Amino acid sequence: MAFKLSKTQVNSWRLLKHHLAQRAGKGDMGEVVSDVCGIQAQVLSAAVLAIEARVEGIRQQDVKDALWKNHTLTKTWCMRGTLHLLASSDLPVYVAALKTKLVESEMWLQKNYGVQPFEVAAITAEIKKVLTNLTPTRDELARSVERRTKLTPKTRKYLRSGWGALLHPAAFQGVLAFGPNSGPKVTFLRPDRWVAPWREPSAREAFGKLFRKFLASYGPATVRDFAHWWGNFHGDQRFLLEYAGDDLEEVEVEGHRGLMLKSDGEEALGLDPVRVVRLLPSFDCYAMFYSPREWFVSPIHRAKIFRQTAGWNYPALIVDGFAVGIWSLNKSGRRIKVEVEPFRELSVSERKGVQEEAARMGSFFETPTEVRYSQLAAGKAS
């Protein structure tokens, strides 16, 4: 018999686990990124705002220090082949799972780019050697690899491409990640050199660990939800359930069924409703992998949050965990304007929450902010 929870209980629990009910301390940035299973960083400015929404009193420099100075975070290609910020301590687990994508990646490169598997292997081996002592730009890395390997002109072109498809196999093996920018140019380094000891589990154990981590922030969820998060998961789905074993609980929420860890279900059952206002950026993981989405945003406004293609979602104003509007950030002179378009009338306390969040964002960027409501919604919301 399924364990029953209300939608409000589930929502409050998810907000808590995503550090959106209450921001974590500044020293817990790595733990926060680990808890939410990574922050998508295809747009780095959105990624740092996702961290700002969850961590108290940080500045942009704190995120940069975590990446390039303290190495508690790593920027690399990961789930779904997209850029993410990961907790560096988690990197061996992700790499163990990512290695299962290597054959698929080689086949894709051969089919779409005409690059042969032996070329990919040679490129990856040279990248590992080059990054042992250097932090080169993309062009510098490409030149170093080209001097040591025999590549066709077409392969050389793809190696220098900004899409980085030929760099993915090295990233999936943990020997390439993004370093600090050198002016407008990206650089690369070897992340496995600062994670010590590097304890890499088997692929099966890695997926089992990731499935548990996913449930611990996104539950109640299904194996299909996990596969959507990971991207092209072709593993043994039964194994995931067996790995979690007796810790799993089937949960029913308003006719929707999913899985949670038993301790998480009990925690959710005892939670009071969370009252909170947050400004979430594009690609925020709370919104992207909220399931089912009709709980997160009403069908009439869904298209304003989620684009049907390319996995895009727009910045969302959330109240108590649900989307009630969209927003954008624009710099105007020495000020930042936060433009808000609510989907419904906002209460006095909700508008106050928006103002407070915008002020925190201003502190993060060390720039004064002002909030403006869209002309369309101004009569209702301001």
The domains located in the chain, with CATH, are 3-92+199-269 (no CATH), 101-193 (1.10.10.10), 277-381 (no CATH)
Distances (CA, A) of 214 to 35, 80, 289, 306: 8, 15, 10, 21
| 42-46 average pLDDT score | 91
pLDDT at position 378 over 90: no
**Tokens at 161, concatenated:** 């491409």
Give the model confidence (pLDDT) of 140-173 as tens digits: 999 999 998 988 888 988 888 877 899 999 999 9
Give the pLDDT score at 94: 98
pLDDT at position 25 over 80: yes
Give the model confidence (pLDDT) of 245-260 as tens digits: 888 999 999 999 999 9
- Global pTM value: 0.93
255 against 376, higher pLDDT: 255
pLDDT at position 376 over 60: no
Q: How confident is the model at residue 237 (pLDDT cuts 50, 70, 90)?
A: confident
| 189 CB-near residues (< 8 Å, 6+ apart) | 131, 135, 176, 177, 178, 179
| 376-382 average pLDDT score | 40
8 A C-beta contact, residue 87 and residue 177:
no
pLDDT at position 211 over 80: yes
Give the model confidence (pLDDT) of 265-309 as tens digits: 999 999 999 999 999 999 999 999 999 999 999 999 999 999 866
Give the pLDDT score at 357: 97
